[in-house]
Chain A
Amino acid sequence: MKKTGLNKLDYIFEKIDIREVLEKVYLMSNDHIIKEVLDSGLKGRGGAGFPTGMKWKFTADEKDPEKYIVCNADEGEPGTFKDRELLDKVPDKVFAGMAVAGKAIGAKNGIIYLRGEYRYMLPQLLKQLDGFQKIIKEIGYDFTIEFRMGSGAYICGEESALFESIEGKRGEPRNKPPYPTVSGVFSKPTSINNVETLVTAILVMRIGAAEYNQLGTKDSRGSKVFSISGDTPIPGIYELELGMTVQEFVNEFGDGDTKAVQVGGASGFCVPRKKFADTIIGFEGVPTGGSMKLFNSSRSMYNVLHNYLDFFVEESCGQCTPCRVGCQQLLKGVQQVKKGEAKSAYLNELVKLADTMKIASKCGLGQSVGNAFKSIVDNFREEIIY
């Protein structure tokens, strides 16, 4: 089915009777729960897009009696703010997603890792969690959720760095394998899911995989919550059906003068105007955790790139050399080219460095710096040089 156009939806934030869903799921077999999520085609909403049902299945298959569900609420990607809104508006769906996942994989413990920047929300969330724990206990779930706070480190959104942080250590990513489903937090089998993924899993449980499958495209099922900012008259949080082109998105959210859209934040891709019509927002085109930033023709793409590189230089954990030194050298390099201290051809060397970082960096941070770097340098080369 080919989808066209932009379709605003209201599934994710819709108020529902959470007890009803939890009671229904409680009577389902664990295999059935996982099968529904697999059939729904739901992919992780944090940005990486790993199939959620497979993550649950792998964790369920582990024999260890102690397992964990971790909710990744360390939303740090520049331009992303939808998880805060979800925790603010529908926290019960987040908790319920964890309880359902816990039942399906056989975990009794849930941990929500909330970024330090959102600490002001904690008192309210704890109160809501209290009410939720009473509800699931009455139904019969054996599941307890606790909150752990971050302290201002972007890298802790990387799953294994997040586990290290929960364990009271520096948030430095681990080597993989083993993957979290085998050895996650406290070296126990762990399913770590983004806030929105857990909320969407509840939607799948409520309406069923077959109905959910009607939304979106073959590679990108369902709807998604987008965080929209930059040069737009209507910034904010919108739930949209997946499968639209950047052009359709810009027609709705642009200010009439959009020259580029950064899809997926600082670690995502820059799409220039000439590619708007041919680029699909989703796993078949440009994937995104929801961050959509619009730039109009008054913006210097050199400044945008410089800002992103500043960000990565500060947020690289420094553990592996390709990322630590690579980020610094990319920043220094574009500064030199801009000032005329290096020839414009030096940008080609920097692109090679970005490619090397993609292959040689230990985690997703260093591996994805090249996404923004290359897509901005390729498409706006003259703005970087002059």
Chain B
Amino acid sequence: MYQVGNLVKELSAKHGRDRASLMPILQGIVEKHNYLTDEAMVEVAKELDISAAEVYGTASFYTFLDTVPRGKYVIRVCKTISCSMKGKGEIIQTLENILKIKAGQTTSDKQFTLLETNCIGWCHKAPAMLINDMPYTELTEEKVIEIIKDYMHK
């Protein structure tokens, strides 16, 4: 849980208060807090003067607008065909071992969430994953361990 504070007001001042501003506002909250709480969605609804159900209905459509708690670093490993052919399974296994969680879960310190995702557009450099916005490609077990250790020390 986080306090949404003035963020919704700041984002709506920047993007506007019409319906078309909804996505950029929700994206802005997720960028800062990694997921959308019920409170945050209600705040957005008030600010844009629309129903909270409209906000939730929109947010829940989009994979990257999570409405359940996520860690500070959301890892999304591509599971579509090229990555699947080039060893996505081993990459997930390595991540599960180092983070001590299963795919779909968040570490107890709320630092990492491990998810699988559909094609992220790096098929020629498979296997690939995103950590928040950053793509990591041509992954190997060693490379994954190094990347996660870097994030652990951030």
Contact = CB atoms under 8 A, between A and B. Distances in A.
Determine if chain A interacts with chain B. Answer: yes
Contacts of B130: 117
Interface of A, secondary structure class, is: mixed
Interface string B26-48: 11000000000000000000000
B16 to A, nearest CB: 10
A149 B21 CA distance: 11
B61 A171 contact: yes
Interface string A285-315: 0000000010000010001100110110011
Contacts of A228: 124
Contacts, number: 118
Contacts of A116: 27, 62, 64
Nearest to B65: A151
Contact of B63 (A79, A120, A153, A308): A153
A153 B135 contact: no
A307 B83 CA distance: 11
Contacts of A119: 133
A152 B66 CA distance: 11
Contacts of B22: 168-169
Nearest to B125: A235
Interface string B111-152: 000000111111111100010011100000000000000000
- Category for how many chain B residues contact A: 35 or more
B124 to A, nearest CB: 4
B23 A168 contact: yes
B32 to A, nearest CB: 14
B20 interface: yes
- Category for how many chain A residues contact B: 35 or more
A236 B126 CA distance: 11
Contacts of A78: 80-82, 118-119, 123
Contacts of B82: 78-79, 229-230, 293
Interface string A138-176: 000000000011111110000000000111111110000
A79 B57 CA distance: 30
Contact of B58 (A75, A80, A170, A237): A170
Residue among B62, B80, B121 having the largest count of chain A Cβ atoms under 10 Å: B121
Interface in B45-76: 57-58, 61-65
Contact of B24 (A148, A231, A311): A148
B19 interface: yes
Contacts of B123: 78-81, 227, 229-230, 235, 293
A84 B123 CA distance: 12
Contacts of B20: 166-168, 186
Interface of B: 18-24, 26-27, 57-58, 61-65, 79-82, 84-85, 117-126, 130, 133-135
